[in-house]
Amino acid sequence: MNVVVCVKQIPDPAAPQSLDAENRLNRSGKLILDEADSYGVEVALRLVEAAGEGEVSLVSMGEATDVTGIRSALAMGAQRATVVADPLLKGADALTTAKVLAAVISRETPDLILAATESSDGYTGTLPVQLAQLLDLPALTFATSVVVEGDTVVVHRQTEAGYDEVAATLPAVVTVTAGVVEPRYATFKGIMAAKSRPVTVVSVADLGLDPRTLDPRQDIVAVETATTKSAGEKYVDDGEGAQRILAFLEQIKIVSGSAT
């Protein structure tokens, strides 16, 4: 069974962030594996292990100046990676990214394509379903468990009340939620093996894509600092605390005056 996992490399959230001249996140430093995607990698590895054959490969679009994040996923056990890096893609929106990833994936014949429900930095949560549409595949989203039975993938789709069981015939695109499994730590052997696993960097031209079909890009017009929340008001309960709380709740329309 062959599983492709979409993985996004992101600037380390623990490090100070800055914006470039076009108001985009500065991605020139170290790029780590988005934690959201570590779950997809783990699910893929477990499915291939359960099948007893096949491979896990990775696809990514973004800067390839640093592939620390890709190497982390390879160290977990993925076999190889393809990274699409091209200055033409700067400012690409989610749909453009989906078109590019679809072009990579359609060069292969995976049984399953996994992605996270949403990335940790862009978090539009739209890319995987766009990818499914472009590849003309079913999309099963918000999976908290993924099982493959023959040529069918069965997922538990998270709902507010619990989960729905949803199934589709392979191949399919599945998005997994954070916490779906405990991603494995890379072993020393895995880290050493990852150094020699292929990371193929390709351009838009390599994929045979017409750059004109990759518009529109997104432009960030302005960035403003979010207003900080002001500190709450403190009351010392002088015996009328309950009434004051009620009056406050009425003021912000949580309860109506008739509740009194």
To ligand FAD, the closest distance from the beta carbon of 235 in angstroms equals 42
For ligand FAD, which is the closer residue by CB, 25 or 255?
25
Residue entry with tokens 């005056």: 257
Is residue 83 within 8 Å of residue 106, measured between CB atoms?
no
- Let me know: does 81 contact 58? Beta carbons within 8 Å: yes
Q: How many residues does the chain have?
A: 260
Distance CA 165, CA 182 (A): 21
Least Å distance between CB 233 and ligand FAD? 37
| Closest CB 104 distance from ligand FAD, rounded Å | 9
* Residue in the shown chain whose Cβ atom is closest to ligand FAD: 122
C-beta of 10 vs 148, nearer to ligand FAD:
10
Supply the minimum distance, in Å, between the C-beta of residue 84 and ligand FAD.
7
| C-alpha Rg value of the chain to the nearest Å | 23
Which residues make up the interface to ligand FAD (CB under 6 A)?
6-8, 24-25, 27, 34, 36-37, 40, 59-63, 89-90, 92-94, 97, 101, 115-116, 118-119, 121-128
Q: Are strands 172-176 and 199-202 parallel, antiparallel or unpaired?
A: unpaired
Query: Which residue's CB is nearer to ligand FAD, number 13 or number 250?
Result: 13
Alpha-carbon gap, residue 62 to 97, rounded angstroms: 9
Residue with Cβ nearer ligand FAD (43 or 194): 43
Task: Give me the DSSP letters along 24-79.
Answer: -B--SS-EEE-HHHHHHHHHHHHHHHHHTS-EEEEEEES--S--HHHHHHHHHT--
Looking at beta carbons only, is 6 or 75 nearer to ligand FAD? 6
- Least separation in angstroms between residue 231's CB and ligand FAD is 32
Q: What tokens appear for 228 in the block?
A: 């900080």
User: Would you say 87 or 257 has its CB closer to ligand FAD?
Assistant: 87
19-35 per-residue burial string, b: 16 or more CB within 10 A, e: under 16: eeeeeeeebebebbbbe
How far is the C-alpha of 93 from the C-alpha of 219, rounded, in Å? 9
| Amino acid letter, residue 247 | A
For the CB of residue 215, give the shortest distance to ligand FAD in the complex, in Å: 13
Using CA atoms, how far apart are residues 51 and 44, in angstroms rounded to an integer?
11
**Closest CB to ligand FAD among 57 and 119?**
119
